[in-house]
A and B are shown apart, each in its own frame.
Chain A
C-alpha cells in the first residue's frame, strides 16, 4: 500500500517531500431539493489535498446532504462537481469509492456478528479459485491496523467492540480503499477523550500524506483542534468559508445561527441563594466519576463541561438514581439522600432531563398531554385515588405548552409528529407539571433548531430568575459559557477546575478538556 511507505517506522523508504497542495474537489452552485424542503441552495465547496476542511453548522443545515452528494449517495439537482479538475457525475457510493472518495458516517456499515478482518474485506474478499484466501485477509488486516495505530484483535467480533473501536474498524475499512478524500461525519460524537485524541493524531498523519479530509461537526472546540478551513452552512446555504485561525468563536456561532450572540443567549440575572444540590466526594461503581464534589444554589445556573467520557453526564444521572454509587453522598436541600431513585428525587423536587429524548424522554405515539404529565400523574392535581382528572390535566398542560411556545399548540397531537425542538419542549414541560426546585439539564439543545434553542434558553432564564437551581450539563461550549454563572470542568471522571464569572472563558475551559502531559496508553 502506498501509505505504508510513508509511516511504518521499520520501513527504509525515505519520506517524500511535503506534497504540494492540489485541488482535489470543487463543488459549484450545488442545489438539492427534497419533497417540502430545499436542502441545499447554491453551495460552493472546495477541498485541497493535505487539509482538514470542516463543515460546520446546526442540525438540518445541510451538512449531511452535502457529504452524501460528495460520497455519491445523492445526485445534485443542479451545479457541478470537479474531481482534480475533471468534471464528474457520481452514480453511486461504489463509484465514488472507486474514484477515491470514502466516507465514515455515524451509522456504521459493519456486520456485528463478523470479525474485524471479515468486515474489512467485506465484498472484496481475496480468493484463490473461489476459496477465501484467509491468510491474505489476515495479513492485509494486520497491515492496515498497524498503519493506523489501532490496537484491535483482527479476529474479534465487531459486535463485542465498543463504539469507538467499531469506528476504528469503519475508518480502517475506509482507509483500505486508499482514498484521496476522506469524509468523517461527527466522528467524535461518542468517543472518550483518549479516543478523540488518537483520532486527531491519526487525522494529522493522514493530512501529512496528502489526503483531503472533510470533517463534519457542530462543536466549536473541535474546530480549534483540527481544522485548517471552515465552511459554515446555514439553512442549506454556505454562508462563509474561512481559515480556521482567522475567525473567533463568537463569529462562528453568529454565522451558524444567523443571530448575534446577544440575540441568541439571554442575560440571566443570577442571584445565588441557598445550596439546593450537593454531590459530596461522589464516586460511582463504574468508576466514571471519582471523588467529585459540586454544588448548585437556588437562582443560579451551574455548568458542567467536559468531553464525552469525562463523567459530566454520569454525575447528573447519579444524582437522579440512574447510576450506582460506590461512595460519597447526594444532598438535596441539606438532606442526605441515601438511595436516590427517579421517583424519590421527583418527590424532592429534582428533575433530570435526559440527553436523548427519543431513547429516554418521550413515549412517541402518545399525545403531548400524556407525555407532559407523565412524571406528575400521582399528584393530586392530576389524579385522585388513581383516577385521572382529564379536564384539569388538559388545562394544565395547555398552559405549560403555551408558556413554552409549543408549535403547533395542540396537546392532543402525538409527540412523534413534532419537530426536534418542540419535542424537547415537551420533555422540559415535564418539569413545569410539578413543583421542581432543581433542574438537571443534560445536553438540552441537541438536535434543536435555532428558534427553539432561543426559546429554551429563555425558559432556563425564567426558571433561574424565579429561584430554581439549574445544573447545565453541555458539550455546547458557547451555550455553557453564556448561560452559566459558574462552571466545573470535568476530565476523566474528576473535577479539574471551577471557573466563576469573568474567569469563565473558552480558553480556560478548553485548556482543561485535554491532557496536559502525554499519557501512557
Chain B
C-alpha cells in the first residue's frame, strides 16, 4: 500500500520549479558552483586566470583527482574510505625510507632505487586495501569504523616509523622528474592523473567489475541473488582505492622531496566532498566518475582561489566543511526531487 502523492496544481510556477528540479537531480549543483567560484575569483584577482596559475592549479589538482577516483569507486559500491590520508602518509614514509636507503647504498643506480620505492609504495597501498576490504567484506565491520580505525593505525604507524620527522635523501631522479618535472610543458603528475582517470573510466564503464560495483552499491541483496560474489568485489574496491591513494602518496612525496608522516591529512574529507559534489551518492550505486573528477577540480580551484585572495588557511578549512555539508544536503534533496 502506498500513500497517495501530495496534491499539486500544474501552475506555471510549479512547472518551472519541476524543470529546475529535474535538471538539478541529473546534473547536480556542480556546474553552478563552478561558475560562481570561477567568476568570483576572476573578478577579485587577475592572477587567477594567468597561465602560471592555471598550470599550477592543474598540477595541484592531480593528487586530489587520483584519490577522489578511488574514493568514488568505494562510494559507488556503497562504502567509504576514511583511511586514504593515512595510506598517503604511510606510503610516503615507507617508500621514502626504502628509496633513500637503497640510494645511499647504491648511488649509481638511481633508477632501481626509484623503482624499489615505487614498488614498496604500491605494496603498502595493496596491503592497506586488503585489510580494509577483508574487514568490511568478511567480518562485516561497517566501512566507517573499519577505515576510521585503519586511518588511526596508519597515522600512528607513520609517526612511529619516522619518529615524527621527515625522511630525506630521495634520489634526484625521483624528485626532479616526478616532483617538479614537466614533459611538453605539462607537469608530470598530470599524466599520472590522466592515466588513472582513463583506467578507472574504463573499469567502470566497460567491465563487469564496474557494473557489479553499481549493483552492489545499489542493491546488495539483488546483486547476491544474481550470483555476484559480493564479498570479493567489495574487498577489491578497497584495494583499488588504497592503491590509487598510494599513487597519490608517491607523487606527493616526489613533490615535497621527503617522506612526510603528516602528509595527506586533508584528503579523506576533501575526496569525499569532491565525489559528493560531483554527483556520487553517499547511499551508493549512483554517480558518474567524470563528475567526481570535476568535483576534485572544483575543490582545487576553490582552494587556489582562496589562497590567491589571501584567505586565512583556517578559514579555508571552515569553507571546505561548509561546502561538504551543502553538498550532502543537496544529495538528499536530489533523491527527493527525483520521484
Residues of A within 8 A of B (CB): 34-35, 39, 59, 64-65, 68, 73-74, 105-107, 185-186, 320, 322, 342-343, 345-347, 352, 354, 359-366, 370, 374-375, 377-378, 382-383, 386-388, 390, 416, 430
Looking at the complex, which of B59-67, B166-174, B218-226 is the stretch in contact with chain A? Answer: B218-226
Is A64 a contact of B229 with CB atoms below 8 Å? no
Contacts of B17 in A (CB 8 A): none
Query: In the bound complex, what is the Cα–Cα distance between A65 and B7 (angstroms)?
Result: 13
Contact partner, B285, options A73, A365, A430, Cβ 8 Å? A365
Looking at the complex, which of B139-147, B157-165, B207-215, B309-317 is the stretch in contact with chain A? Answer: B207-215
- A9 nearest CB across to chain B (Å): 37
Q: 4 shortest A-B CB distances, which residue pairs? A: A363-B218, A375-B226, A343-B227, A374-B226
The A interface, classified by DSSP as helix, strand, loop or mixed, is: mixed
Is A388 a contact of B7 with CB atoms below 8 Å? no
Is A364 a contact of B207 with CB atoms below 8 Å? no
The verdict on B52 contacting chain A, using a C-beta distance below 8 Å, is no
The verdict on B105 contacting chain A, using a C-beta distance below 8 Å, is no
Number of A-B contacts (CB under 8 A): 97
Interchain Cβ contacts under 8 Å between A and B, 26 examples: A35-B7, A35-B10, A64-B4, A68-B4, A74-B4, A106-B1, A342-B227, A345-B227, A346-B226, A352-B225, A360-B221, A360-B222, A360-B225, A361-B219, A362-B219, A363-B219, A363-B285, A364-B218, A365-B286, A366-B214, A374-B222, A382-B208, A383-B207, A386-B208, A386-B209, A388-B207
Residues of B within 8 A of A (CB): 1-5, 7-8, 10, 206-209, 211-212, 214-215, 218-219, 221-229, 285-286, 339
Query: In the bound complex, what is the Cα–Cα distance between A73 and B2 (angstroms)?
Result: 13
16 additional A-B residue pairs with CB within 8 Å, beyond A34-B5, A359-B221, A374-B215: A39-B4, A64-B3, A74-B4, A105-B1, A342-B224, A342-B225, A363-B214, A363-B215, A364-B219, A366-B285, A377-B208, A377-B212, A382-B208, A383-B208, A386-B207, A387-B208
Query: In the bound complex, what is the Cα–Cα distance between A185 and B227 (angstroms)?
Result: 36
Contacts of B212 in A (CB 8 A): 377
Query: In the bound complex, what is the Cα–Cα distance between A366 and B213 (angstroms)?
Result: 12
Asked whether A34 and B207 contact (CB < 8 A) given A186-B1, A366-B215, the answer is no
Contacts of B223 in A (CB 8 A): 363, 374
Contact partner, A388, options B211, B221, B286, Cβ 8 Å? B211
Asked whether A388 and B208 contact (CB < 8 A) given A35-B5, A74-B4, A366-B215, the answer is yes
Contacts of B211 in A (CB 8 A): 370, 374, 377, 388
- A496 nearest CB across to chain B (Å): 29
Give the residue name and chain of the A residue nearest to B205 (CB).
A388
- A423 nearest CB across to chain B (Å): 12
Query: In the bound complex, what is the Cα–Cα distance between A342 and B231 (angstroms)?
Result: 14
